[in-house]
């Protein structure tokens, strides 16, 4: 399941990775969203690389990408919490999601 023995990743895998890379680069220019932007860009670039690799190696790289995305979510969550008010709740939720993403990424390694 989810193996690509022919070496041809589905088109949607390429499209999603490319969109993630573009969205990450765009978020790098939004104040307070740089952490999430960098992690999305790393994840998108990693996804593009994974499309051409062996499934076992791609899984390990996917774990690293998930950990980078988790770090970006934690960084953005902490930035949101510094704004105060109701945004603190969103920051806490995003930070919790980031820790979960990092844990699942480490599990793939």
What residue segments make up the domains of the chain, in order of their start? 11-108
Instruction: Give residue 89's pLDDT.
Output: 92
- pLDDT of 80: 87
Residue 48: CB atoms within 10 Å: 17
* Confidence (pLDDT) at 3: 59
Say what the pLDDT of residue 29 is: 93
Long-range Cβ contacts of 94-99 (<8 Å, 24+ apart): 97/70, 97/73, 98/69, 98/70, 98/71, 98/72, 98/73, 98/74, 99/70, 99/74
pTM: 0.59
Q: CB of 17 within 8 A of CB of 51?
A: yes
Each of the 109 residues of the chain gets a pLDDT tens digit; together they read 555 555 566 777 788 889 999 999 999 998 888 888 888 898 888 788 877 776 677 777 778 878 888 888 898 889 889 888 888 999 999 899 999 988 888 877 6
């Amino acid at each position: 399941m989810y193996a690509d023995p022919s070496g041809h990743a589905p088109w949607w895998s390429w499209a999603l990775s490319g969109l993630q890379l573009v969205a990450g680069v765009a978020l790098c220019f939004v104040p307070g969203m740089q952490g999430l932007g960098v992690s999305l860009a790393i994840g998108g670039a990693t996804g593009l690389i994974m499309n051409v690799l062996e499934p076992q190696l791609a899984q390990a790289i996917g774990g690293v990408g998930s950990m980078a995305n988790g770090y970006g979510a934690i960084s953005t969550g902490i930035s949101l919490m510094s704004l105060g008010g109701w945004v603190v709740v969103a920051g806490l939720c995003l930070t919790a999601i980031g820790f979960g993403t990092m844990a699942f990424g480490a599990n793939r390694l």
